[in-house]
Structure 1
Amino acid sequence: MSRDDSPLVDLQCEAHTYPDGTVGMHDVDFSVYPDEVVALVGGNGAGKSTLLEHLNATLVPDDGELVVDGTPITEDNKAHARREVGFVFQDADTQLVAPTVLDDVMFGLQNYGVPGDEARARAREALATVDAGHLEDRIPHYLSGGEKRLVGLAGVLVLEPSVVVLDEPLAGLDPERSQLVAERIQQIHEDGISVVLSTHDLEFAAEVADRVCVMADGNVVGSGTPREVFYDDALLTDANLHPPSAVRVARDAGLGATEQPVTEADLVALLTEADTLGPTQTPSPDGRGHD
């Protein structure tokens, strides 16, 4: 995918090896551009979390370079990466450190020397952004999983990053809370923040992502739009992934060859159109029916 704009984050990682000798990632060339949502998909151990943790210098390549907003990141300026690239961990408890939700969201601002009244106002604004203002006086560790995920997201947004990274944001959530978190992710993207997330839920990836990157064996083995990726049988087979249900249903119904729906909404619209056109016509790519 060629682009004219400069990346917000550009990672070149020839290798990253963990202390026990496990190779977490190799030969990775990964960038994040303005105004996009990128979904990383792949099986357990594919390297998704390892890649994400390189984007804000939580991990650093053994051989390679991270450039954030045009600035090469070194040991001396990791704070720049962590300010521009906010990270919401899968285990939200690792980010909740203060006695109340409001104190927790203020914590990062106070570390940067923001005065108390300003920090409090900005924290309340961040909580409102994720529809969690009603939680400000609650004790973080007594929140539900979904509420913790939203508070962690607010704690990142309050620092006004260019990119938000979420590791398995729907993990362990019931459908209602998953929908709430998904809606907040789409909202922050609409507010102009790029988002990178990892997920095992390909239905979710199809719904929210502009670009999908497939990982296997510590490398990005393919990328493209959801339609390009989820209709690439060879790529999905190599990564041991199954396409979203809309793709499978469309193929079973003989619709996938032309329209290629990737979400439930795409599929419903296509089937509704086919029903309206009648049994002797099928929808064509230009939107007109043909016999």
Structure 2
Amino acid sequence: MSRDQVPLVNLRCEAHTYPDGTVGMHDVDFSVYPDEVLALVGGNGAGKSTLLEHLNATLVPDDGELVVDGTPITEDNKAYARTEVGFVFQDADTQLVAPTVLDDVMFGLQNYGVPGDEAKQRAREALATVDASHLEDRIPHYLSGGEKRLVGLAGVLVLEPSVIVLDEPLAGLDPERSRLVAERIEQIHRDGISVVLSTHDLEFAADVADRICVMTDGNVVGNGTPREVFYNDALLAEANLHPPSAVRVAREAGLETTAQPVTEADLVSLLTEATDVATTQTPSPDGRGHD
């Protein structure tokens, strides 16, 4: 990912106000670049879901513009935004509409006129990508929360978007299903699709994201790499966020001024290295170091 690249998606939103008068978002300039995982973080009511729903024209700004792959999106070409930017909602049930999983994943293709045999083959490929082929004959509403997320993800992948947007993909999942969904997200990124997700789980954001955007009061107040964001005390305080546990432990251990770990794996590596150095410097019984 490089800032010199042309964005796949660029949203400029001076304002978005809901019918009841609530201001959901204002003064936002937000871009998604090729080959990145971007995590959107912030407290409840910060505007994360509102921003995400603007990325495929589910919502439109009162004043502003959405550009997808160089094409300005209008009332006449919203369908283009929705094929290029796939959206997986937090409530997976809102996307599950067919009697079986396979029928559900095929649904979008059939709406675009893809012939039945081709739609079925592509749907099976999409299910295989998210490791959910075994679910194809199941009734969607009887699936677990994690299984529903995977089926929703397959239903988006089958349309071959450039960007996939996930609203709180781990919400309500147990640790094992969270791990499974996180692995599928990383696989999708490795396959060349950019991913945008919102999350309250900063450990997860630190693990998967190349870039973090922080929202508060309907605006993006900062963004950068996980290290740039999670070691920025003023930015986190503005958004009422606490850094991931690796950051807190590193600070308590006096390690944050060196490698600045943000994930558990970073921290383990740093502590292992520090232990190895200390061991080699410990004097041997004859008074000489282990070196």
Give TM-score scaled by structure 1 length: 0.95
Structure 1 moving runs of 4+ over 2 Å: none
State how far apart, in whole Å, the 2-side matches of 1:146 and 1:115 are: 30
Answering whether residue 209 of structure 2 is matched by residue 221 of structure 1, we say no
Give the letter aligned to residue 204 of structure 2.
F
State how far apart, in whole Å, the 1-side matches of 2:86 and 2:157 are: 7
Q: Which residue of 1 aligns with 2:15?
A: 15
Q: CA deviation at 1:185?
A: 0.1
Q: CA deviation at 1:258?
A: 1.4
What SS does the aligned partner of 2:76 have?
coil
State how far apart, in whole Å, the 1-side matches of 2:60 and 2:103 are: 30
State how far apart, in whole Å, the 2-side matches of 1:21 and 1:2 are: 38
Q: CA deviation at 1:3?
A: 1.6
What SS does the aligned partner of 2:267 have?
helix
Q: CA deviation at 1:259?
A: 1.1
Q: Which residue of 1 aligns with 2:285?
A: none
Q: Which residue of 2 aligns with 1:51?
A: 51
1:45-194 correspondence to structure 2 within 5 Å: 45-194=45-194
State how far apart, in whole Å, the 2-side matches of 1:184 and 1:157 are: 11
Q: CA deviation at 1:5?
A: 1.1
1:206-245 correspondence to structure 2 within 5 Å: 206-245=206-245
Q: Which runs of 5+ in 2 are unaligned?
A: 282-291
List per-residue Cα deviations over 1:190-233 (Å, max 9, x = no partner). Answer: 00000000000000000000000000000000000000000000
State how far apart, in whole Å, the 1-side matches of 2:232 and 2:213 are: 12
List per-residue Cα deviations over 1:98-136 (Å, max 9, x = no partner). Answer: 000000000000000000000000000000000000000
State how far apart, in whole Å, the 2-side matches of 1:42 and 1:186 are: 22
Q: Which residue of 1 aligns with 2:42?
A: 42
Q: CA deviation at 1:2?
A: 7.1
Q: CA deviation at 1:4?
A: 1.4
Change (3 A) 1:87 1:213: same
Does 1-10 or 183-192 show the bigger shift? 1-10
What SS does the aligned partner of 2:242 have?
coil
State how far apart, in whole Å, the 2-side matches of 1:35 and 1:259 are: 25
Give the letter aligned to residue 36 of structure 2.
E
Give me the CA root mean square deviation.
1.1
Q: Which runs of 5+ in 1 are unaligned?
A: 282-291
State how far apart, in whole Å, the 1-side matches of 2:3 and 2:156 are: 27
Give the letter aligned to residue 119 of structure 1.
A
List per-residue Cα deviations over 1:8-63 (Å, max 9, x = no partner). Answer: 00000000000000000000000000000000000000000000000000000000
List per-residue Cα deviations over 1:255-277 (Å, max 9, x = no partner). Answer: 01111000000000000000111
Give the letter aligned to residue 149 of structure 2.
R
Q: CA deviation at 1:280?
A: 8.4
List per-residue Cα deviations over 1:141-164 (Å, max 9, x = no partner). Answer: 000000000000000000000000
State how far apart, in whole Å, the 1-side matches of 2:226 and 2:83 are: 29
Answering whether residue 25 of structure 2 is matched by residue 29 of structure 1, we say no
State how far apart, in whole Å, the 1-side matches of 2:6 and 2:33 are: 7
- The count of aligned residue pairs is 281
Give TM-score scaled by structure 2 length: 0.95
Give the letter aligned to residue 207 of structure 1.
D
**Percent identity over the alignment?**
89
State how far apart, in whole Å, the 1-side matches of 2:280 and 2:183 are: 39
Q: Which residue of 2 aligns with 1:3?
A: 3
State how far apart, in whole Å, the 2-side matches of 1:23 and 1:280 are: 59
State how far apart, in whole Å, the 1-side matches of 2:93 and 2:249 are: 38
Q: Which residue of 1 aligns with 2:252?
A: 252
